Amino acid sequence: METYFFADLCPEGSFELSEEESKHVVKVRRHQPGDRIRIANGLGLLADCELTEIRSSRATLRVLHSIQHAWPEPRIHLAVSPLHHEDRWEWLLEKATELGVYRISPVLCERTEHYRWKLPRYSRILESALKQSLRTHLPILDQPMPLSQFQAESNAVTYVAHCDESADARTPRISLDLVDRSRNTCLMIGPEGDFHPSEIQRLVDNGAIPLSLGALRLRTETAVIAGLSRFLGGSMQRAGAALLTVLLTVLLTMPITVLLPLAIPLLIPITSASAQSNNQRSNAAPVRAGHIALGRLKYQGGGDWYANPTSISNLAKFCNAGLGTSLSLQEEIADAGSPDLFRFPWVHMTGHGRIVFNEQEARNLRSYLTGGGFLHVDDNYGMDPYVRSEFKKVFPELEWTRLPDNHPVYLKPYPMVAGLPKIHEHDGRPAEGLGLLWQGRLVVYYSYQCDLGDGWEDASVHRDPETLRTTALQMGANLVRYAFEQ
């Protein structure tokens, strides 16, 4: 059961969800009256509710049963310098919430770089991370304060992680293996340039214990994950999961051009014999669920980036059966401006209406695409003018090109004799497959006047003929295969 957020949740009674959460319940997940839904308020209250009414796209729910959870002990208080790069700071907040940190205090140090403070956006990020991780408590997020004014809670052991080896002569750092995980803790992480020696000395003089995170030089956000994973590791099983988190964090910082050559042998173990059987569904390999996810691009502007909620999972299932891939059957969200985008070898973008990329998002998308990534843009209707204007921010030097019918995306493993197939009708115009080619490589494929993603949806959604759904899925599989082979 998915978790949704409602700050004013009470232990009993009925209530109406916010417009944003209602949209997700009604339009994205397509819940109907009578469905059971779990709601959290971020303060430990978790309620199983029944959806009783949908009126003007707003969802009304009734509490069936509720439990008040206490904060897990011990509590971890994170004091960390805010980051200049907004996407990295937002990633840090998200992961700290998912790991279960109790409080986050941004501290301004002598070497803290210029930063921006966007509390409403950060609050939404914390709420999203709470829902994603199935936690019941939101961390307290303090306003930035000078390091000299910061005070940890009186019953907490304070550790200051730093890299200044010269300070070890006065007070040696202890290793992560020696920390006391049974007590409430304050973990302090400095800016990219580390704490100034005078700051380290002042913190140690006030009772902080110097801490080493190892021999490697870590970015601030990576140091936070490494430290929190140790303190929040718990049992041996959870400590193993924490170690995996750190390893994944390192992998996520690698360019996709490095990751793809490592991933492709695992993603597409296709022999010539299996390739010959791709056109015979009866001989398809059994469906397997893997850990490589296809991404859905989240963008600003008001367009419903979340449209066609069953499409990507169905495409992944089809590829696993027909191509022999090992893709996760659960789609993941790829925010246009987030470093998480670089986790995905293939990303899908769809919706109706307006799209907006800010400067940082356009720059991030360009880095992703020129670094080996692939984006499929599918006009669900109404996106076209915004696709053309916003991608000029990403690639101002490129023009959309109509791909010929003999382009590789139409040839294998499923031949599309006439190019991009027409799935749903809108304006009486033929389907067009357009592309942005960077240094000769197709980096963005745009299916226009086609509605390819509609054809990937569950059969009960649009009730398309099975042959049409299969054609749509085959075209999608061609795009996935093309992206993985480049």
Within the chain, what is the greatest distance between any pair of CA atoms? 78
The architecture (CATH level 2) of 256-485 comes to: 3-Layer(aba) Sandwich (3.40)
pLDDT score for 394: 97
**Pairing status of strand 103-108 against strand 76-80:** parallel
Q: For CA atoms 277, 281, 283, 284, give the dihedral sign.
A: positive
Residue 319 pLDDT class (50, 70, 90 cuts)? very high
- Domain 76-252 sits in CATH at 3.40.1280.10
Please provide the average confidence, as pLDDT, over all residues in the chain.
85
482: pLDDT strictly greater than 80: yes
pLDDT score for 29: 83
CATH homologous superfamily, domain 3-68: Hypothetical PUA domain-like; domain 1 (2.40.240.20)
For 48-114, the DSSP string reads: EEEEEEEETTEEEEEEEEEEEPPPPSS-EEEEE---SSHHHHHHHHHHHHHHT-SEEEEEE-TTPPP
Report the predicted TM-score, pTM, of the whole model to 2 decimal places.
0.53
Contact 413, 342 (CB under 8 A): no
Quote the tokens at residue 287: 């469906």
Q: Where in the chain is the domain with CATH 3.40.1280.10?
A: 76-252
12: pLDDT strictly greater than 50: yes
Which range (63-67, 160-164, 168-172, 184-188) has the least confidence?
A: 168-172
For the chain, count helices (H), then strands (E): 14, 20
Which range (12-16, 60-64, 235-239, 264-268) has the least confidence?
A: 235-239
395: pLDDT strictly greater than 80: yes
Q: Where in the chain is the domain with CATH 3.40.50.12140?
A: 256-485
pLDDT score for 264: 45
Contact 405, 433 (CB under 8 A): no
Q: Where in the chain is the domain with CATH 2.40.240.20?
A: 3-68
Percentage of the chain lying above the pLDDT 90 cut:
52
